[in-house]
Amino acid sequence: MLLLALETGTAAWVTTLAMKTGSDQASENYAWLGAPPAMHEFVGKRQLNELAEVSFAISNKDHEANLRIKSKDMRRDKTGQIQVRVDQLANRVNDYPSKLLSTLILNGASALCYDGQYFFDTDHAEGSSGTQSNKITFAAATGTTPTVDEFADAIVSGIQTMYGFKDDQGEPINQEAREFTVMVPVVLMGTALRAVSILLGTNGGTATIAALKNDFKVSVVVNPRLTWTDTFAIFRTDGAIKPFILQEEEGGADVVAIGDGSEYEQLNKEQIFGVDWAGNVGYGYWQGAVQVTFT
């Protein structure tokens, strides 16, 4: 049952926000290549350019969760509660990448990414991109408690910011973006859900997000692990390169079951159940993410 549960996979939002890569060694090196040169008029002779390169490494780490249960308690468990908890160990494995990625998101304004700046920062710069910020503020009438209309406008402001990003050649980088995930803490759940779902705004006018439904697909993910009270994040989900990297070591997800009838159980009168996962997460493309804070 544990093995079958492991095959259910991770949380849905993980697969849309993170590039999943396999690993067969202690760490993996990643090389971020710059954009190809922009087109220009052919004058004189060909102008030859090289791709800029930035490299970084993500090291695999071993993770585990284990239960030790006395054999007599297993025998006396008439309601099957112990077996249910044992089976739920697999849920811990499947949920673990979302826990690790949530920590990255939460710490994005104070943790470095590939360009040497914080993932959410106000002064990203590469080549001819100019200084760019993916950490913005939005003024709400009551400060940190936005109305539904204000939240919708803040989402549009974040998308607008993302559309303005340029690559190291000074060319627009998100001009084809159409699908976005808005990730919010629990405290902003109700406002965020109404902001993307209601059809009518203040005074009966068409709501902001509803008016854009033919241009953009905006979905909300409520992340209970985020402790923000006045902040949310927007991620582009239809880009070829994702904001995060999920690195899983081959054969790293496994089940340990030293159960009834085993030599260990006969000697110690107890059973051991555990799950293992080897891998890690890292920051990917900051250009696919914007943090918005209400002020």
Other CB atoms closer than 10 Å to residue 26's CB: what's the count? 11
Domain range enclosing 87: 2-294
* Cα separation values, 202 from 152, 198, 209, 211, Å: 12, 11, 13, 13
Q: In this structure, are residues 15 and 221 in contact, taking their beta carbons and an 8 Å threshold? A: no
Q: In this structure, are residues 227 and 290 in contact, taking their beta carbons and an 8 Å threshold? A: no
Handedness of CA 137, 240, 57, 60 (dihedral sign): positive
- Integer Cα distance of 291 and 238 in angstroms: 18
Contacts of 158 (CB under 8 A, 6+ apart): 136, 234, 290, 292
What CATH number is attached to the domain comprising 135?
A: 3.90.1690
Contacts of 277 (CB under 8 A, 6+ apart): 62, 63, 64, 93, 96, 248, 252, 253
Residue-level pLDDT at 83: 78
Q: Which residues of 64-100 are buried (b: 16+ CB within 10 A; e: fewer)?
A: ebeeebebeebeeeeeeebeeebeebbeebbebbbeb
Helix (H, G, I), strand (E, B) or coil at 35: coil
Q: In this structure, are residues 58 and 242 in contact, taking their beta carbons and an 8 Å threshold? A: no
Helix (H, G, I), strand (E, B) or coil at 121: coil
Give phi and psi for 271, each to the nearest 5.
-120, 150
Q: In this structure, are residues 236 and 177 in contact, taking their beta carbons and an 8 Å threshold? A: yes
Q: Could you tell me which of 83, 99, 76, 111 has the C-alpha nearest to residue 10? A: 99
Contacts of 204 (CB under 8 A, 6+ apart): none
Tens-digit pLDDT string for the chain (295 aa): 565 555 555 678 999 999 999 998 999 888 766 666 666 577 777 776 665 667 788 999 999 988 898 989 888 888 788 878 877 887 888 888 999 999 999 999 999 999 999 999 999 998 889 999 999 999 998 878 899 999 999 999 999 999 999 998 899 999 999 999 999 999 999 999 999 987 655 655 566 787 788 889 999 999 999 999 999 999 999 988 899 999 999 877 788 888 888 888 888 999 998 888 899 999 999 999 999 999 9
Number of domains observed in the structure of the chain: 1
